[in-house]
Amino acid sequence: MVVSCRNRAKRCCLTHLSHYCFAMIRAFLIIKPTSVLNAVVPLWALGCGLAVGLGSRVQAAQPPVPSQRLGPVALAVAPDGTKLYIAGSTAQSIAIFDPVRGSIVQTLATPGAPSGLTLDRQGKVLVVTCAAPSSRVCWIDAVSGKTLQSMPVGHTAMSPVLSRDGKTLYVCNRFENTISVIDVASQRERMRLPVSREPFAADLTPDGKTLLVAHHLHAGRADADVVAATVSIIDTDALKVVKTLALPNGSGLLRGMRISPDGKYACVTHVLGRFHLPTTQLDRGWMNSNALSIIDLSEMKLLNTVLLDNVDSGAANPWALGWTGDGKTLAVTHAGTHELSVIDWPALLDKLGKLPATEPTTAATDYSVSSRWVGDVPNDLAFMVGLRQRIKLHGKGPRALALSGNRVFVAHYFSDSLEVVNLAQPPLKAVALSLGAKAAMSVTQRGEMLFNDASICFQGWQSCASCHSEDARVDGMNWDLLNDGIGNPKNVKSLLLVHRTPPVMSLGVRDTAETAVRAGIRSILFTVQPEETAVAIDEWLKSLKPMPSPRLVNGKLSAAAKRGQKLFNDSKVGCARCHPPGLFTDLKNHDVGTRGKFDQATDLFDTPTLIELWRTAPYLHDGSAVTVRDVLTTANPTNQHGDTLSLTPPQIEDLVDYLLSL
């Protein structure tokens, strides 16, 4: 991978200057986002050409403007296509949309923010995960809307997967790093299966024997040559992880996972970070590209990874995906560029199958073709030419997708809107379906949208969320940003409390978060934006609240954590000297003995807040410590990072428990 990155650097350096000049000119063109359409289009009209044409509007009395956004994050469609279930995370409800009427016909309140949903094969029972530190999963009668059962699961439950016989339910507990295995008949949790970091999406093979789980972030060091998130393969009979597949180097922020209808392949959407390169440009995916990884389920191995970007147009933050029933078309949403990719699946497999397994060595390199062998594909921005269509959507933040026959439904998190693409009616285009009146977006809500919006980035390669995830935390990678020189990569920091804990960055080179936000727009997104863009992002970041740790017991410190708290505040141990309770930072730079071979200018590093420490691994400015225990032991050989060498192993464990409870 390092060699391929160097080759890419040679190919791109000649175009850097011209593209940079173009970016500066382009920055003065302020393009207003496309307005969300309010057309109401009955689905019969889409499928049969009856009643109303694709571009027409049905005039209807609009209800009063609602006071709360819906925030769609998941979709499920009834087997007969007559109902669409929309999980509204912000509204904490399920909206039932009738495609024939072209409107929401019923709204079901949920006991928390719905994070995922699925229907049984008969379409009679809707299963909904409601994410919280103590999540719940609910069974809802899909006809009457009555809640049939409800039971607790783990921390931030999501991506429910129901076995084909309806007897077993699997739920990802994202921040507990477990999978709940639930016996549906008895409403009993059989076990919580430990898996790798942040299980985010899952799917089950048609025979029910194998569960695949996509992990949002990697679980290792960030200063290694290879850093990549993984997919866990679980034997559902033995209920154990039988294999772990690492995706290509730089893979992270895995968000979508689906298995093909024939059970032969699984696809995962993710960002592919080129973290070995300094962030001098964005052209041709220099910093981040956006990918689809394909797993061959017959051999349980990674088949290949294809890029969803074009040479001069990024397709940022790929999210949801799904196949048509015949397995011939794969659809992928791009939550950052607000697009839908429609992929010819047989053609993609055919092209991959024709590539040699090893790099040709006898023939001269032919630069007129794209990939010459399978190893070229993850760096080939032209590989998907002719294999897919990119469809511009009208809404903002397409995080949810569902297919029914030839229709692809897409729901937008930020614009509270719904669209449909009819695959049987070329040329393909998205048609808006009305979800009724929309709540006005506040400045804070607009800031969240802009943070996740790659349309404010040069060529749409990335958004702020491409390195900080959708909630402004971390991607676990080291990046060589230009604000402190080239050649000294630093680990991505969480932006929680960043406006209250100046200075900013690992070396404190930005005096305030406001300065850092504006510098990031210029030097990471490579555009110039109006001041109100930065102000809105500031307001959203200021609004972020810490999430309770999975280490807490009924919201309180465990007995071990209370012992650790005493050690933390002990003046002999010294943790509280630099991390005083409150913000858990003294807002100063210190030499804690962690300067590495790539650090050029100073031994002093900013003291980070310890709040939500449990979410921000790996640790230290260079991501060299996988665990907090490593920070207190192997990474602190001279006791500069607190007097921890005098602590016994049980005391270390107590201190770890406290730190991971903050």
pLDDT, tens digit, 9 for 90 and up, residues 70-92:
999 999 999 999 999 999 999 99
Residues 534 and 581 in one domain: no
Domain-embedded: residue 635: yes
Model confidence over 215-272: pLDDT tens digits?
999 999 999 999 999 999 999 999 999 999 999 999 999 999 999 999 999 999 999 9
Q: Is the domain of 537 the same as that of 565?
A: no
Residue 183 domain-assigned (yes or no)? no
**Close Cβ partners of 267 (under 8 Å, ≥ 6 residues apart):** 256, 257, 258, 260, 292, 293, 294, 295, 321, 330
User: Is the residue at 599 inside a domain?
Assistant: yes
Domain that holds residue 574: 559-659
Q: Are residues 563 and 472 in the same domain?
A: no
d(CA 464, CA 445): 15
Which residue from 653, 627, 646 is spatially nearest to 563, judged by alpha carbons? 653
Say which CATH number the domain at 492 has.
1.10.760.10
* 487 and 528 fall within a common domain: yes
Give residue 75's pLDDT: 98
Q: CA 509 to CA 507: how far, in whole Å?
A: 5
Q: Which residue, 543, 574, 592, sits at the end of a domain?
A: 543
- Does residue 262 fall inside a structural domain? no
Residue 519: CB atoms within 10 Å? 18
Residues contacting residue 354 through CB under 8 Å, at least 6 positions apart: none
Q: Within this chain, do residues 475 and 524 fall inside the same structural domain, yes or no?
A: yes
483 has a pLDDT exceeding 80: yes
Q: Would 450 be classed as within a structural domain? A: yes
pLDDT at 428 over 60: yes
Pair (611, 652) in one structural domain: yes
| Total domains present in the chain | 2
Point out the domain boundary residue: 512, 543, 574: 543
- pLDDT greater than 80 at residue 27: no
- Judge if 567 and 629 occupy the same domain: yes
Kindly tell me if the per-residue pLDDT of 480 is higher than 70: yes
d(CA 501, CA 217): 25
| Inter-helix orientation angle 531-543/513-523, to 10° | 130
Residue 157: its pLDDT value, please? Answer: 98
What count of Cα atoms within 13 Å lies in the side-chain half-sphere of residue 605?
22
pLDDT attached to residue 67: 60
Q: Which residue has the higher pLDDT, 175 or 8?
A: 175
Q: Which of 328-337, 404-413, 447-456, 595-604 is predicted with the least confidence, judged by mean pLDDT? A: 595-604
Coil, strand or helix at 206: coil
| 457 and 497 within one domain | yes
My answer on whether 456 and 521 are in the same domain is yes
Give the percent of the chain with pLDDT over 90.
Answer: 81
- Could you give the CA distance from residue 430 to residue 364 in angstroms, rounded to a whole number? 44
- Give the model confidence (pLDDT) of 429-440 as tens digits: 999 998 988 889
> Which of 69, 502, 6 lies closest to 277, judged by CA?
6
Q: Which residue has the higher pLDDT, 363 or 646?
A: 646
Would you state the pLDDT for residue 368?
65
Token pair in block for residue 352 = 């991959």
Average pLDDT, the chain: 89
Give residue for tokens 């559902």: 236
Q: Please say if the pLDDT value at position 36 is more than 90.
A: no
Q: What are the DSSP calls for 410-437, one per residue?
A: EEETTTTEEEEEETTSSSP-EEEE----
- Residue 359: the pLDDT is 86
Indicate whether 526 and 481 sit together in one domain: yes
Segment 29-51 mean pLDDT? 31
Q: Is 56 domain-assigned?
A: no
> Is the per-residue pLDDT at 7 higher than 50?
no
User: Same domain, yes or no, for 451 and 530?
Assistant: yes
Q: Which residues contact 3 (CB under 8 A, 6 or more apart)?
A: none
Residues 506 and 480: their CA atoms lie apart, in Å, by 12
Task: Report yes or no on 236 lying in a domain.
Answer: no
Last residue in a domain, options 502, 519, 543: 543
- pLDDT exceeds cutoff 60 at 47: no
Is residue 428 within 8 Å of residue 391, measured between CB atoms?
yes
Q: Are 45 and 422 in contact (CB under 8 A)?
A: no
pLDDT beyond 50 at 58: no
| Contact of 610 with 585, CB cutoff 8 Å | yes
Whether residue 294 is predicted with pLDDT greater than 70 in this model: the reply is yes
Same domain, 655 and 574: yes
